[in-house]
Structure 1
Amino acid sequence: MGNKTNGVLALLGLGALAYWKYKKSTPEEQQAVKDKINTAKGNLNKFGNDLKDKANNVASQVQDKANEAKNKIEDATQG
Structure 2
Amino acid sequence: MGNKTNGLLALLGLGALAWWKYKKSSPEDQQKVKDTINNAKDNLTKFGNDIKDKANQTVDQLKNKADELKSEAQQAAE
Q: Distance in 1 between matches of 2:51 and 2:26?
A: 38
Q: Which residue of 2 aligns with 1:41?
A: 41
1:21 matched to 2:21? The reply is yes
TM-score, normalised on structure 1?
A: 0.91
Q: Distance in 2 between matches of 1:13 and 1:4?
A: 14
TM-score, normalised on structure 2?
A: 0.92
The secondary structure found in structure 2 opposite 1:66 is helix
Report deviation, 1:45.
0.6
Q: Stretches of 4+ moved more than 4 A in 1?
A: none
Report deviation, 1:32.
0.5
Report deviation, 1:55.
0.6
Q: Distance in 1 between matches of 2:63 and 2:5?
A: 47
Unaligned runs of 5+ in 1: none
The count of corresponding residues between Structure 1 and Structure 2 is 78
Query: Given residue 13 of structure 2, which amino acid in structure 1 is its aligned partner?
Result: G
Query: Given residue 62 of structure 2, which amino acid in structure 1 is its aligned partner?
Result: V
Q: Distance in 2 between matches of 1:56 and 1:75?
A: 29
Q: Which residue of 1 aligns with 2:68?
A: 68
Report deviation, 1:75.
1.2
Unaligned runs of 5+ in 2: none
